[in-house]
Amino acid sequence: DAGVTQSPTHLIKTRGQQVTLRCSPISGHKSVSWYQQVLGQGPQFIFQYYEKEERGRGNFPDRFSARQFPNYSSELNVNALLLGDSALYLCASSLSASGGADTQYFGPGTRLTVL
């Protein structure tokens, strides 16, 4: 079975631009979460979506937004890019949004570089 897929794998943008990252969850998984991993640090939670509704949001500015589609795929949008947005953006899928011991399975990530 296919794992979590993300596109594109790499992206280079300039300050002030906007970017859209895409994620397809594992078949049967209804929840998608997004994390930002800055070089040398652990992933930081950005959003969680379940059944097209936002179920959680981390401490990120309103320039970050996301949505989930009826097929459970998801997009992460970042507006007015800053140099500090350069990071690996990870998508994770899980069966539910209830947490607990539910495992999140991660995709390979999208490497965003802002110049």
Q: Which residues bind another protein (CB under 8 A)?
A: 4, 31, 33, 35, 40-45, 48, 50, 55-56, 58, 90, 92, 94, 96-109
Q: Which residue has the tokens 């906007």?
A: 18
Please give the Cα distance from 84 to 113 (Å, whole number): 9
Pick between residue 68 and residue 104 the one whose CB is nearest to another protein: 104
**Least distance CB 19 / another protein (angstroms):** 19
At closest approach, how far in Å is the CB of 11 from another protein? Answer: 14
- Give residue for tokens 């990071």: 87
Amino acid at 93: S
| Closest among 44, 88, 49, 50 to 65, alpha carbons compared | 49
Is 38 or 80 the residue whose CB approaches another protein more closely? 38
Q: How far is residue 90's CA from residue 110's CA, in Å, rounded to a whole number?
A: 7
Task: Tell me how far, at minimum, the Cβ of 73 lies from another protein, in Å.
Answer: 17
With respect to another protein, which residue has the nearer C-beta, 65 or 108? 108
